[in-house]
Amino acid sequence: MAILKTHVALNVTNIEKSVAFYQAMFGVEPIKYKVDYAKFDISNPALNLTLNLANNVQSGGALSHLGVQVESTQEVEAAVQRFTAAGLALFTEDNTDCCYALQDKVWVTDPDGNRWEVFVVKLGDTAPEKNVAVGQGVNKSCCG
């Protein structure tokens, strides 16, 4: 069976700052680094991340945020240490109920405003009583 690897290509306005950010984010050096392009080949999580120099980047757009799910709170804490050592501004959340799951997480933002979280799920569903069955749809009354 083939190994699947996600590919994310981001436009960036400053290749040097972005490379420094993603080195801190993933703890690896780019495997290819040009004046207008960088490529990270990350094994865990399996990710082919490329940075493409652009004149401008629309912050936000349809993208909410990006994230890496890890297996333990210790891995979240290791990310906090890595980000702190790199001088990145960060925000941590412990035992937060997010996306109907109990999580520990740390947030950082890349030089172009893309928000990343490194998180562990401690409890998979904090509101199982609110589940909707597939095909059932959501019952909305609109026209009383």
Q: How far apart are CA 21 and CA 18, in angstroms?
A: 5
Residues in Cβ contact with 45 at an 8 Å cutoff, skipping those fewer than 6 apart = 6, 68, 69
Angle at 127 between CA 126 and CA 130, to 5 degrees: 160
Residue 28 Cα distances to 41, 49, 123, 127, 130, angstroms = 9, 12, 30, 37, 41
What single string gives the DSSP state of each residue in 112-139? TS-EEEEEEEEES-S-GGG---TTT---
> How would you write the pLDDT of the chain (144 residues) with one tens digit per residue?
566 788 999 999 999 999 999 999 999 999 999 999 999 999 988 999 999 999 988 876 667 789 999 999 999 999 999 999 999 999 999 999 998 999 999 999 999 999 999 999 999 999 889 888 776 665 555 555
Q: How far apart are CA 12 and CA 35, in angstroms?
A: 12
pLDDT value of residue 64: 79
- Prediction pTM value: 0.80
- Selection from 44, 45, 49 nearest residue 7 by Cα: 49
What single string gives the DSSP state of each residue in 54-123? -S---SSTT---EEEE-S-HHHHHHHHHHHHHTT--EEEEEEEEETTEEEEEEEEE-TTS-EEEEEEEEE
